[in-house]
Amino acid sequence: MRILLHRADGRTEPWLKDFSKYLPEAEFEIWHAGEKSQPCDYAVVWSPPEAMLPELAQVKAIFNTGAGVDALLRYGDAIPREIPIIRLGDAGMGLQMAEYVTHAVLRYFRRFDDYERQARAGIWAALPPYNREDFAIGVLGLGALGMRVIEALAPFGFPLRGWSRTEKRIDGVQCYQGLDGLDTFLRGSRVLVCMLPLTPETNNLIDRSNLGKLPAGAYVINVARGAHIAEPELLSLIKSGHIAAATLDVFRNEPLPAQHPFWQEPRITITPHVSALTLRRESVQQIADKIRNFESGQPVADIVDRNLGY
């Protein structure tokens, strides 16, 4: 079989090395702009450019080296619908994301962010602790990664709430679903954790209206996509005090521009899209197994439903 490989960062050599170990029967071709590729059976890509679409329209299946597929779905039917788009499952990302979110939640609950500000000002003073029963964590999105975050937070005894597009039942979690359940979910969530896929329905979902439904002094943690949040409106509500602080790993424009006002707001913690880095070896193993299943007519997990966007 022949596989077309593209990485937006240009770092294809390490991927080729791992594929030679886990899929030695395959030949690989690196996609280069302006060069016509030989016909390939499959494509393994991350954030492919529009110029790559003619080649993508000719393969049997496209494997995305990440869980989010918005960079592919933005092209709509330019990638024919009969060509499956297959995303990564966990591949080590769930544990990383659980670590990141748990750290952010505990930092706010134990008021370490406030102690950091006091330390910079040379202030030695104990602050009143938050009441655990009043510190409900609301996880927006209950897919595989959202569930991994729920599982990581469970031992700490916080009230746990979850929202999803369709009904789910999870032991120990108060679940809400659909637009009808969103208001109630938001109004009871002291910490909002965004784990949603980016779709037309979730784009800009965390806007002034929905942020305003959170309790006064709420916290926001976003590890999904920057386009979920109306950035100027979040900043305005932080400055007003309605939102106490935010931890943001993703942004509408990345890298975050140097002039972006988020940099100047001390109550916003910024990380450079590192909450769940793609682990190459685990990803290559998973893709290799899925390609073999596809070749042999066996079921393949994580095929994207284009109507849902994930």
Residues that are catalytic: 225, 273
Do residues 63 and 79 make contact, with C-beta atoms less than 8 angstroms apart?
Answer: no
- Sheet of strand 85-86: strand arrangement: 27-30, 2-7, 42-46, 61-64, 85-86
Distance CA 296, CA 112 (A): 53
Amino acid in position 275 = S
Closest CA to 60 of 269, 294, 306, 232: 294
Helix (H) or strand (E) segment spanning residue 174: strand 173-177
Closest CA to 218 of 128, 137, 290: 137
Q: Where are the alpha helices (DSSP H) in 154-273?
A: 178-187, 208-213, 231-240
